[in-house]
Amino acid sequence: MQRRTVQIGNVKIGPGQPLALIAGPCVIETLEMSINVASRVKDITDKLGMPYIFKSSYDKSNRSRVEYYRGPGIDKGLEILAEVKKKTGIPVESDVHCREEIAKAKGVLDIIQIPAFLCQQTDLVVSAAKTGLAVNVKKGQFLAPEDTAKIVAKIESTGNHNILLTERGTTFGYHNLVMDIRSIPIMQSIGCPVVVDVTHIVRIPGPTSQESSGGQPQFTEILARAAVAAGANALFLEVHPDPSHALCDAASQLSLGKLEKLLNVCMEISNIVS
């Protein structure tokens, strides 16, 4: 199948395009931090000639404990994302969890993200596709990469062909995820650009006694480099000014201070393999 390019505003992701970045804090904490992160990442990506999309969640509905911070909620969260877009000019992405959220979300978001655990929910996927916005589908940890073809077919049934597929790891026994590098060319063969969500792959699924211990961030950089070498069209990185104090995924977010060095290396690799 011919591989297509997805366009989000001025950002193009696909074959023949520069390596792109989707990045931001795991969950929206404050307006000030969101704008700060988006602006700092934009400065880096502008220097590298790297297309950039800001992502942060207004609600993390799959937190492992009810008392954990989930985000500001859809109304306040979309208000913050709209302000980020207004102040920086960067396209924004966030995840939706049910059909009822889509009517509000489509007025702000440039990309609707389908969470991994919900990627097979037909009504949700089709409703997101009907907005005409780009749809980024996180491949469920329980799916083989070729199984995403069925999800793509659901989206395309609405006439929407602006589809990204995101590799975010595969369950390997209990409390472990691995990245099967073969998933990148397999999902690309379906016709969609492929994003690799490195910072979720290094998460350790399942609650631990300490939230800050639920990840292996020492593998973030090597997996990012491997993904780009295998031909990924974009990287997905959750970044935070101070990951140890992040309100969500503190154990796996990349420190904002480490981002530029990593992206420099990834762009060099991308230039070699493209």
CATH number at residue 253: 3.20.20.70
- Give the whole-angstrom CA distance, residue 147 versus residue 173: 20
Range of the domain at 229: 6-273
Amino acid at position 105, single letter: A
Residue 98 inside a domain? The answer is: yes
Interacting residues of 127 by C-beta distance below 8 A, sequence separation 6+:
99, 102
pLDDT in tens, 40-69: 999 999 999 999 999 999 998 877 788 788
pLDDT in tens, 232-270: 999 999 999 999 999 988 888 999 999 999 999 999 999
| Ramachandran assignment for 159, one of left (phi > 0), alpha (psi -120 to 50 degrees), beta (any other) | left
Interacting residues of 190 by C-beta distance below 8 A, sequence separation 6+:
1, 146, 148, 149, 152, 165
Residue 140, SS3? coil
State the total domains in the chain.
Answer: 1
Residue 105 inside a domain? The answer is: yes
Interacting residues of 87 by C-beta distance below 8 A, sequence separation 6+:
35, 38, 39
**Is it the case that residue 208 has pLDDT exceeding 60?**
no
**Is it the case that residue 192 has pLDDT exceeding 70?**
yes
Residue 1 inside a domain? The answer is: no
Write down the pTM of the prediction: 0.95
Place of tokens 């799959």: 62
pLDDT band for position 209 (50/70/90)?
Answer: very low
Q: How many CB atoms lie within 10 A of CB 206?
A: 10
- pLDDT value of residue 130: 98
